[in-house]
Amino acid sequence: MSRHAPLALTMGDPAGIGAEIALAARASGRVAHPFFLIDDPARLAALPGAAPVITIAGAEEAADAYPLGLPVLPLALPAPVVPGQPEPANAPAVVAAIDTAVSLARSGAAAAVVTNPINKKVLYDGAGFAFPGHTEYLAELGGVPRAVMMLAGPSLRVVPVTIHIPLAAVPAALTGELIVETARIAAAALARDFGIARPRLALAGLNPHAGEGGAMGREEIETIAPAVARLRAEGIEVAGPLPADTMFHPAARARYDVALTMYHDQGLIPIKALDFDEGVNVTLGLPFIRTSPDHGTAYDIAGRGIARADSLIAALNLAGSMAAARAGQAAA
Which residue ranges are tagged as binding site for substrate? Answer: 134-135, 272, 281, 290
Residues that constitute the known binding site: 134-135, 164, 209, 264, 272, 281, 290
Which parts of the chain are beta strand (E)? 7-10, 35-39, 53-55, 70-74, 112-114, 148-152, 157-160, 200-204, 237-242, 258-261, 280-284, 290-293
Say how far apart CA 192 and CA 323 lie, in whole Å.
Answer: 10
The one-character DSSP state at 109 is S
| Cα(67)–Cα(69) distance, integer angstroms | 6
Reduce the DSSP state of residue 238 to 3 states and report it: strand
Which residues, at least 6 apart from 264, have a Cβ–Cβ distance to it below 8 Å? 160, 162, 163, 164, 165
| CA 27/CA 50 separation, integer angstroms | 6
User: For the chain, what is the total number of helices (H) and then of strands (E)?
Assistant: 13, 12
Residue positions in the annotated binding site for a divalent metal cation?
164, 209, 264
Q: Residue 6, preceding bond cis, omega within 30 degrees?
A: no
Residues 6 or more apart whose CB falls under 8 angstroms from that of 285 comprise 139, 144, 146, 147, 148, 185, 188, 189
